[in-house]
Amino acid sequence: MTWTDRGHRAAFAAIGIAVVALGMSLTAGAQSTAKNLIVNGNAEQGAASPNGYDVVPEVPGWKRRGGFTVVEYGASDFPGTQTSTAVHGGAKFFAGGPGNASSAVTQTISVASQKQLIDSGKAKGTLSGYLGGYGGQDDSLIATAVFLGQSGARLGTMLKLGPVGSAARKLQTGMIRQTVAGSIPKGTRTIRVTLSANRTSGSYNDGYADNLSLTIGR
């Protein structure tokens, strides 16, 4: 079987509708002292697909485009429990999903309560998370944080994580921690975080992510 042979996955897809596990769990991820502003950045809230091929009904905290989904660690031919342990990933991770080339989830976070610090020009934002993909494929996921003013207009330069290609993963299925920091523009009132998964190989969109965090400091 080559990395581009998706027969294995096609077999799972042919099974059709599988039961989607419902569950809630709290998981200790990589912790920092600053509060993580992203809701459900660890994909632990809501349902996850046991085999990877269900598009979950919703991704709590996020607005979805396309077939973006949540998968259980250990689903056959997906990141396993060893990956979960390595990335403090808990039970579930984000994936681009079956049968689509491009999918995403977005959430818009109010930072109005921090406007004094932000409007001083001294606020820094840090975006971090684990990003990855499948084997030798270059399917990948990009996380961005865009700064928006009171009117919703974009301000300054966005923060961007990824993509993490197959070479960075040494052709292994898994995820690698990424982090980026930058100034938060004066006037920022909301921050729009987007996870965009993009497919280059096969039918499944294997952009993966877990433990996304956005913090504000100085």
Chain residues that interact with Ca ion, rule: CB under 5 A: 42-43, 89-90, 92, 137, 139, 201-202, 204, 206, 210
The least distance separating Ca ion from the CB of residue 85, rounded to whole angstroms, comes to 12
| Rg over CA atoms, the chain | 17
Query: Residue 132 or 185: which CB sits closer to Ca ion?
Result: 132
SS (H, E, C) 116-184: HHHHCCCCEEEEEEEEEECCCCCCEEEEEEEEECCCCCEEEEEEEECCCCCCCCCCCCEEEEEEEEEEC
Query: Residue 42 or 188: which CB sits closer to Ca ion?
Result: 42
The least distance separating Ca ion from the CB of residue 180, rounded to whole angstroms, comes to 20
Residue nearest Ca ion (C-beta atom): 202
Instruction: Give the burial class of 213: count Cβ atoms within 10 A of its Cβ; 0-12 exposed, 13-18 middle, 19 or more buried.
Output: buried
Query: Residue 43 or 216: which CB sits closer to Ca ion?
Result: 43
Residue 85: closest CA among 210, 213, 214: 210
Query: Residue 54 or 206: which CB sits closer to Ca ion?
Result: 206
The two three-digit tokens of residue 49, written as one number: 């697909």
Query: Residue 189 or 199: which CB sits closer to Ca ion?
Result: 199
Show the CA angle centred on residue 109, arms to residues 103 and 198, nearest 5°: 15
The least distance separating Ca ion from the CB of residue 41, rounded to whole angstroms, comes to 9
The least distance separating Ca ion from the CB of residue 18, rounded to whole angstroms, comes to 19
The least distance separating Ca ion from the CB of residue 63, rounded to whole angstroms, comes to 19
